A and B are shown apart, each in its own frame.
Chain A
Amino acid sequence: MQFFTDPNFQPWLIPLGPLLAFIIITLATNRAKLAPSGDMVYGGFRPPYGNMPVPVATPWSRFLSISVGLGGIIMSLLVSWSVVFRAIGDHDFGTSVVFGNSTDWLANGTQMLRVGVLVDPLNAVMLFMVPIVVLCIFIYSIGYMANDPRQSRFFALISLFAGAMLTLCVSDNLLFLFVGWEVMGLCSYLLIGFWFEKESAYKAAIKAFTTTRVADVIMLLGIVYLYHITGTLNFREIMYANNGALLEVLGNTPAILFGSFGFSAASLIGVFLIIGTIGKSAQFPLHVWLPDAMQGPTPVSAMIHAAAMVSAGIYAIIRMYPVFVGAGAFAADPHHGLFTQPLMLMALVGAFTALFAATMAVAQNDVKAVLAYSTISQLGFMMAALGIGAYVAATFHLITHAFFKALLFLSSGSVIHAMEHGEHHVHEHGHGHDGGGGHGTAAAATVHEHGAQDHSETHDAHAGHDAHGHGEEHAAHDEHAFDPQDMMNMGGLRNKIPVTFYAFMIGGFSLAGFPLITAGFWSKDEILADAWLGATEGFGPHAFVFVMLAVAAFLTAFYTMRQLCLTFFGEARTEEAAHAGLGGPNNIISQTMQLPLIILSFFAIFAGFVGVPKDFPILGSIFSSGGSFFFHLVERSVVPLGNIAPQHPAFNIFPVLVSFAVALGGLYLGWVMYGRKPLKAGEPDPLIDILGSSLHTTLKNRYYMDDLYTMLFVKPSQAIANFINVFIDKGLIDSILHGIARLAVWIGDFIKVLNLWLIYGVGDGIPRGIYRAGGWLRRTQSGRIQQYLLAVLIVAVLIGLVLAVTSGALAAPR
């Protein structure tokens, strides 16, 4: 039993809880009964099943799944926090003390690949963040998924997801990390496509899976190459053993690809690993899957966007950071303007993505789409920070971002839930006898106008179109097409769901970097401070990063305010919004959905204070009198190499002022445009006038990146598949198969003829002959005894004569 109290062994137990929960739920508690599909709703979508019976989780199964899932993650939380706090309490933690344990795994020739766990300062902070965020998401899911027919399945999958993330966090080598990484890829596929009845959901799942897979394959190449050169995948062996001897080897070996262009092995491996992260953390060329990942249930979005999936990408980079910086002949020193190719790649991709995604977020109307783009943008911040050497700031932002983004997603889920509640209400009470007279208000008309179109389409263009008298046409549409995620359908929710409103506001302000009191400010400020420090020394990449991030931060604040105002302020723009709510304050659904918001709000505010710079005026002396706690903890995870030790940027008023200016300026601009004069129902977005309709449409359509990819990759793939289908499958393979089939039929016909002529002829001929012979012989059977006797006599006389002649007796008288 001493294993269970030994901190070297305990990390093994951290991922165990959710993984066990997954197995138990899948094998034991996932019971369903058949129920008519008529009133089943899959994520707001009623599949056209007629009234076919569909499996629905039984209440007992729901209860068990929830208990087991929660139990698993609570076990993880307890174990991991006990390890983390014990580690943090140890003064030497990170320098001479790390917790770890490993065992033989794969025999590989004469070498043994070992698998193990490791807790050092870097993943200690991950292990602090991940379980608590995941626990919040679990609690939230109880309420959010309460009416879903497949609730048990959901808890099983999300447990596996959490287990994979924790596996990745505690792993002490790249291969084990990659296992967690891939299992998360699988889980994201299963969970994004959780409501696979929806076409958009399964398409999004396939898109996410294939996009990340492209990157993962390249990352695996990097891992293989790394193993080829170093013979080990263990983090600490690669980076710290023998004072970084392996890093020198990596740095001094020219790469097998581009070696002549100054690429060292370390650089090539770094680039490969970064491409893996670009896929997983949704950076510029491969970001397209993340916005579509919103098709999953909202807790899954929170999981992917905050706690697990995208964080894993950044985490892996920080974990391998010394490899990117390199050593030996190709070593970099970002603090003195010396970059390796991977660092440069990260700085450029990160800074570009941060701004690029922020511009797209500005024009989105879907409440979750805005958050999705903000995630991409914030991950870009982290990448950029890593590119310029500020890995501690990146880690800090990773943690704070996880808290406030989980908060934002859960809040948006709460908003969507409230809107669906409102829709249900309207559907039940309002539109039953709608003849066009009773609800001829502008609000009701907007419902139909908006409801009739897909949220990904250009809503505003249609709105203008409708003004020319096509409203009637849309009004005839079924109100099932109402989109509860479209912010244009919301408004005035502040009073309907106050807890959600405050939580959303805290999360939003933290995302925007509202000065001093939010976590997001401190982490973002630190990135900007690092960038500014390099920029003042005249390093181009630093300056580029600083400018891009500052503009992105401004846009972030702006779209956050836009979102807050459109969703919560002003008057309800639709009937549904006017009836939105979580079904009363005291039911279990609203309680389980609001408790996590409160917990996460706490972290979204206070998580920043662990990283206040020491020499920040006033606050620095309050929170970090002995130096920033977070900074000192995390920098120890990469301690022994001089050229990558993070700098402690001296307090400089300029980046702080910039942080203040972009955050407050963005929020103010958002308030001016959307808050002071709230949008009325049916009114177009004021942004269209400012940006111009074509630019706005471009942003809204994601710079047509998806269309481009469709044209470049999806359509050619389909064309190739079609070609193969027509020419190879149907033409070549099918003709061979059909030829064989025809030959077989021909042989069969031949044998059939043979049967008829030969076998049947012989088989039937013999009995027929016997029959005929019998018919002929039967005439001798007269039944008259005296004829028989006569025959006997004749035969006897004949025999006698024959005997007499042959024996010569007749010739006797001689």
Chain B
Amino acid sequence: MVPLWFYLIVAAALFSMGTFGVLSRRNGVAVLMSVELMLNAVNINLVAFWRYLTPEKINGMAFAAFVFVVAAAEAAVGLAIIISVYRNRHSVIPEEADTLRG
């Protein structure tokens, strides 16, 4: 059986890629997709910890399901914001949406 730390390494790699994408992509949609990656990394962690540490309880799965729901909601809201920004500014680049600059 594959040991736990394999999963953890995959999840950490996935999370790091997601974080890098969030911080470095210029396209807003790509940033959103990177956020999805980070969420999925978290899901892998959740499910892995559940399967290896406490398989007799279901709270790990329940949490993973919640994260899916949140991810879906977040994607919907995020895309809606991006579309709205695009309509107003004809751009989906977060750096250019700096109206709140002090």
Contact = CB atoms under 8 A, between A and B. Distances in A.
Interface of A: 777-786, 789-790, 793
Interface stretch (B1-9, B40-48, B52-60, B91-99): B91-99
Nearest to B24: A786
B102 A786 contact: no
Interface in B1-56: 19, 22-24, 31
B95 to A, nearest CB: 5
B36 to A, nearest CB: 15
A783 B23 contact: no
B102 A781 contact: yes
B19 A793 contact: yes
A785 B94 contact: yes
21 contacts: A777-B102, A780-B102, A781-B101, A781-B102, A782-B101, A782-B102, A783-B99, A783-B100, A783-B102, A784-B94, A784-B101, A785-B97, A786-B22, A786-B23, A786-B24, A786-B31, A786-B94, A789-B22, A789-B23, A793-B19, A793-B23
Interface residues on B, range: 10 to 19
B47 to A, nearest CB: 23
Nearest to A775: B102
Contacts of A779: 102
Interface in B62-77: none
Given A782-B101, A782-B102, 14 more contacts: A777-B102, A778-B102, A779-B102, A781-B102, A782-B98, A783-B100, A784-B94, A784-B98, A785-B94, A785-B97, A786-B24, A786-B31, A789-B22, A789-B23
A784 B102 contact: no
The 4 residue pairs across chains A and B that have the minimum distance between CB atoms: A781-B102, A783-B101, A783-B98, A778-B102
B8 to A, nearest CB: 16
Contact of B95 (A778, A786, A793): A786
A544 B29 CA distance: 142
Contacts of A785: 94, 97
A779 B102 CA distance: 6
B100 A781 contact: yes
A790 B25 CA distance: 13
Contacts of B97: 783, 785
Contacts of A777: 102
A787 to B, nearest CB: 9
A792 to B, nearest CB: 10
A793 B100 CA distance: 21
B85 to A, nearest CB: 11
A777 B101 CA distance: 11
A778 B97 CA distance: 17
A528 to B, nearest CB: 122
Contacts of B95: 784, 786
A783 B99 CA distance: 6
A786 B35 CA distance: 12
B102 A790 contact: no
Contacts of A782: 98, 101-102
Contacts of A793: 19, 23
B44 to A, nearest CB: 20
A790 B19 CA distance: 9
Contacts of B102: 777-783
A56 to B, nearest CB: 80
A790 B24 CA distance: 10
B31 to A, nearest CB: 8
Contacts of B100: 781, 783
A638 B69 CA distance: 131
A797 to B, nearest CB: 10
Contacts of B31: 786
A785 B23 CA distance: 9
A781 B98 CA distance: 9
A336 to B, nearest CB: 125
A783 B24 CA distance: 16
Contacts of A778: 102
A777 B19 CA distance: 27
A130 to B, nearest CB: 101
A790 B31 CA distance: 13
Contact of B23 (A780, A781, A790): A790
Nearest to B95: A784
A439 to B, nearest CB: 103
A283 B24 CA distance: 125
Contacts of B98: 782-784
Nearest to B25: A786
Q: Which of A777, A780, A785, A790 has the most chain B CB atoms inside 10 A of its CB? A: A785
A785 B101 CA distance: 10
Nearest to B98: A783
Nearest to A781: B102
A782 B101 CA distance: 5
Contacts of B23: 786, 789-790, 793
Contacts of A789: 22-23
B16 to A, nearest CB: 11
A784 to B, nearest CB: 5
Contacts of B101: 781-784
A757 B94 CA distance: 50
Contacts of B24: 786
A783 B101 CA distance: 4
A677 B60 CA distance: 153
